[in-house]
Amino acid sequence: MSHSTVPRSRAEAETEKTPVASGGAAGSPQKRPSGKLSLRLRLRRDRVLLLMTLPAVVLVLVFNYLPILGNVVAFQDYDPYISDNGIVSMLNSPFVGMENFQRIFEDSAFWNAVQNTLVLFSLQLVLFFPIPILLALLINSVVRPRVRAVAQAVLYLPHFFSWVLVIAVFQQIFGGAGILSQLLRQHGYNGLDIMTDPNTFPLLITAESVWKDAGWGIIVFLAALASVSPDLYEAAAMDGAGRWRRMWHVTLPALRPVIALLLVLRVGDALTVGFEQILLQRDAVGPGAAEVLDTFVWWNGVRNQDFGYAAAAGLIKGVVSIGLVLAANKVAHLMGEQGVYKK
Amino acid sequence: MTPNAASASSGPSRRSFLASTAVATAAVAGGMPLLAACGGSGSGSRDGTTSAKDAKKILPAYVASNVVKPDIPARNGSAIGFTSKLDLATLKTSVTKKLGKGGKVTIMSPFWGSPPKQNNAYYRAMNDLIGVDVVWQNQDGNTYDQKLGAVLASSDIPDVVVVPGWNMNGKIPSAIINKFADLGPYLSGDAVKEYPNLAAIPTDAWQRSLFGGKLRGLPQPAPYVPGIVPLYRKDIFDKEGYEIPRSADEFMALAKEITNAKAKRWACLDMKWTAFQTFGVLSGSEKPLWWNLVDGKLVCRIETEEYLEALEWARKLFAAGVVHPDSELGKNAPDPGPKFAAGEFLIYPNNITQWWSRTAEQATQNPEFKVWGMDIWGHDGGNPHLWADQPAGIFAFVNKNASESVIRDVLAVANVTAAPYGTKEYMMTNYGAEGTHYTLKDGVPVKTDKGNNEVMNAYVMVASPAATLAHPDFPDVAKGQVMWQQRMGAFTKKSSFWGMQITEPGRYTNLGNDFEQLEDDITRGRKKISDMQQAVSDWKSKGGDKLRDWYMKILDENGSAAS
């Protein structure tokens, strides 16, 4: 896979010497030299590139892989306060085996959080995911560059507001004493309960997300659209294809790999449905409706200092998420798309 | 003191036992006898309480300060009150020598309201007075518990951390014992005399500052009369002819009369805390106060009939639509101040300190505005049954890794902030600098806008003098507050563990944590009373009953404070 990034002439020269380096195609045992030699050669060949990736690899190791070791607290009654150093505390905290996991599976609050997470995820998948695509198509159809630039700017802007601000604005407009409710009351109707009704909370959360981030989400799709050759549209038009046919047969197929990729990524992230946004509104509707896995972990870990318990919940979430990515990727492959990675 | 175990089943006999023996260790301050806790689970252990014998060796000596004689002496657990005119020209100096050595001290503290910017005139003036460069890390007081755990788990703990007792959940007690310095070498016995204002802090407040058998906290002495007052807009009440309600039904009728949502007026905010008071529910402020000995058996507040009745009544208010919609937001609700001033609601329960601070905030722009405290009514129209708060509820702790010079600097800060009323130090701590934060009008200090913005929380959080109510700018408010405390104090009883500093065993510390959330769900109609009953039975089986036994053992070993 990395092959394409190697300067062409050089890569070809090396490939002649060591055919195995060309990846998947070289499967036959006769052509494969001993692994050791191959590795050394490959290292020599790619040393500049490897050196260039080193800083990134170190960062990933230090900040993404090393902390994985911290999951050990999921099997402990971890008390970070028994020493000044987190690692020393980890070594000295008593091991409790699977007790934390046992407690989690018996905890109705955990299952409530799982349910809320899945409901929110499904709702966002159906109501949020298609919107950036539609917006991108819409923007793409705008011909005048100035109108297009203004529309894009307006759509991107809310992404840069913090959640605190977005929720405060929603509260001012839709809250129990907000503009909308007060207007209704002045005209003899009852006030609305949009911000604090647990039953409609998933819709509220999704609406907020759409308002804030749908515009930002169009960037990737616009890029994909820009890569579609105008020749294709022209050819289709010549063949008598109308607007809708061109969209169906040219535009959408061009977007398909990107949509599949983002869908896989989104499914992998299914258990992450927005931490800050939900935490900020948790008290407004109560944990019954607003507790998701992330806030559950936060509440038990940070608020209750039950770190082992929270870590166990986080670990479960991580394992399930990996499973989801693999499954979604498999589905993408079956649909003939590339997905996140190729086998 | 095992002999006391014999009388375990009877509260009153326990009390007389204490009265006869334990008071020997007590310095009586403000009319409150010290509860001397004996036995416990032994000194140095991580849970339990500190025995009287051990406490005696650790507690600082008490040297009363009589800078100014109070106009209203403490009675029924009230603060002392000052209502006569204060002559600012002849303020006394209680800190004759600047004790600070010019070091830098970072302090993390809860802050209720909008914090001023760093390095403002008030902080500079205080730092000059103390001789220490204090840097404040102010955190939102309403969600302080959510930050505390993370900060204490980090390797970057500020020099001083202020922790309110109601935030000592989960493993925080373990953190306090492991992460904070033993101040005993600097304050125990006569050592405290180096800091005369600290020596004048009542002993029962110091008693509460013993954590894990060591003196770790710098206390804020507090009146034991419940701190939460139903505050109301007296000006509007007078204008509209509303009468102060005397029962739960009267309150409901009044609330309906006041509410006119169309005109953006509701009767009140969430009245849950007032409901608990009017229905006589055991205190919810600190876990040990949740318990009380009834007929030889410890009962927890969440198990009582009154608790459910109070919740049901608070729920009815929400259901009747008389509660301001902001309250639906729970802890995310915005600061009530501006909407209270705008008359969007007329009643809300909050700490007694807001009686004065709301008054001061509005005094210049809004001269009509008058806030006053309602007497707490008994739900059935009779007298209320109130339960005492702890005689000190907020503590400042010093990082265990702080050097001696930092600790000395912190004590220098505390010695200034604990200066009694009538001193220059008290005036600076509570009012700021003359000319900048307050001006003299007819000889009375009146806070400026700058004063209202900057002179808030911060220094008063470190350590304070014996509970004092004095507002030279609004003497009638001070009088109203003290008289309220004394009237309510007459109905206030102490529950079994009053006055003790108890660390629950780690496995039980989170047991009761979710009840507050559940209460809020029920009052807002999101959960039912039956959900609470279920939660209580879960609580019992998950360890509540074992916790009861654990508390019983403490009671057997130490005796009760019940009154």
Task: Identify whether the C-beta of residue B352 lies closer than 8 Å to the C-beta of residue B484.
Answer: yes
- State the average pLDDT for chain B: 86
Q: Which residue of B has its CA nearest to A83?
A: B178
Structure confidence at residue B311 (pLDDT): 97
Cross-strand partners of B294: B297
Model pLDDT for residues B494-549, shown as the tens digit of each residue: 999 998 888 888 788 888 888 999 999 999 999 999 999 999 999 999 999 999 99
**Which pLDDT score, from 0 to 100, does residue A22 have?**
41
B146 touches chain A (CB under 8 A): yes
* CB of B541 less than 8 A from some CB of A: no
pLDDT grade for B378, boundaries at 50, 70 and 90: very high
CATH of domain B64-225+392-493: 3.40.190.10
Nearest to B416 by CA among B200, B114, B135: B200
Is B155 in Cβ contact with A80 (below 8 Å)? no
Across-strand partners of A76?
A95
| Mean pLDDT confidence for B459-467 | 92
pLDDT digits (tens, 9 = 90+) for B382-438: 999 999 999 998 999 999 999 999 999 999 999 999 999 989 999 999 999 988 999
Contact flag A288-B526 (C-beta cutoff 8 Å): yes
Q: How far is CA B365 from CA A230, A301, B359, B449, in A?
A: 67, 45, 11, 10
Domain boundaries, chain A: 2-67, 110-334
Q: Is the ipTM of this complex over 0.85?
A: no
**Is the CB of residue A16 less than 8 Å away from at least one CB of chain B?**
no
Q: What is the C-alpha separation between B437 and B450, in angstroms, rounded?
A: 6
Is the pTM higher than 0.95? The answer reads no
Q: How far is B177 from chain A (nearest CA, A)?
A: 9
- pLDDT tens digits, one per residue of A254-282: 888 888 888 888 888 888 888 999 999 99
Distance of CA A161 to the CA centre of its chain: 19
> How does DSSP assign B96-148, residue by residue?
-S----S-EEEEEEEE-SPPPPTT-HHHHHHHHHHTSEEEEEEEEGGGHHHHH
Mark yes or no for CB contact A283/B332 under 8 Å: yes
Identity of the residue in A82, A84, A281 whose CB atom sits nearest the CB atom of B332: A281
* Interface size between A and B, measured as CB pairs under 8 A: 109
CB atoms B331 and A283 under 8 Å: yes
Domain ranges (residues) in chain B: 64-225+392-493, 228-387
Residue A81 to residue B174, Cβ atoms within 8 A: yes
> What mean pLDDT is predicted for residues A44-48?
89
pLDDT confidence tier of residue A91, bands split at 50, 70 and 90: confident
CATH class of B228-387: alpha beta
Inter-chain touch B513–A82, beta carbons under 8 Å: no
Q: Is B328 on the interface with A (CB under 8 A)?
A: yes
Give tens-digit pLDDT for B64-118.
Answer: 887 778 899 989 889 999 888 778 888 888 888 888 888 999 999 999 888 899 8
Out of A6-15, B137-146, B221-230, B357-366, least confident range = A6-15
CB–CB contact B526 A285 (8 Å)? yes
Superfamily grouping for domain A110-334: MetI-like (1.10.3720.10)
Length of chain A as a residue count: 343
Asked if pLDDT for residue A115 goes beyond 60, the answer is yes
Q: Is residue B20's pLDDT more than 50?
A: no
Supply the pLDDT for residue B563: 60
Alpha-carbon distance A283 to nearest alpha carbon in chain B (angstroms): 5
Assess B403–A contact: CB distance below 8 Å, yes or no: no
C-beta atoms of B169 and A304 within 8 A: yes
List all residues 6 or more positions away from B310 whose beta carbon is below 8 Å from its beta carbon. Answer: B272, B275, B276, B278, B279, B281, B379
pLDDT of residue A37: 67
Backbone angles phi, psi at B393, to 5 degrees: -120, -15
Residue B459 has pLDDT above 70, yes or no: yes
Cα distance from A302 to chain B (closest Cα, Å)?
6
Average the pLDDT over B471-478 and give the result: 90
**Cross-chain Cβ contact B329/A284 below 8 Å:** yes
* Interval B202-256: pLDDT, tens: 998 999 999 988 999 999 999 999 999 999 999 999 999 999 999 999 999 999 9
SS (H, E, C) chain A: CHHHHCCHHHHHHHHHHCHHHHHHHCCCCCCCCCHHHHHHHHHHHCHHHHHHHHHHHHHHHHHHHHHHHHHHHHHECCCHHHCCCHHHHHHHCCECCCHHHHHHHHCHHHHHHHHHHHHHHHHHHHHCCHHHHHHHHHHHHCCCHHHHHHHHHHHHHHHHCCHHHHHHHHHHHHCCCCHHHHHHHHCCCCCCCCCCCHHHHHHHHHHHHHHHHHHHHHHHHHHHHHCCCHHHHHHHHHCCCCHHHHHHHHHHHHHHHHHHHHHHHHHHCCCCCCHHHHHCCHHHHCHHHHCCHHHHHHHHHHHCCCHHHHHHHHHHHHHHHHHHHHHHHHHHHHCCCCCCCCC
Q: Mean pLDDT in chain A? A: 84
CB of B361 less than 8 A from some CB of A: no
B96 touches chain A (CB under 8 A): no
Check whether B455 has a pLDDT greater than 60: yes
pLDDT tens across A292-315, in order?
A: 999 999 989 888 888 899 999 999
Fold equal for B64-225+392-493 and B228-387: yes
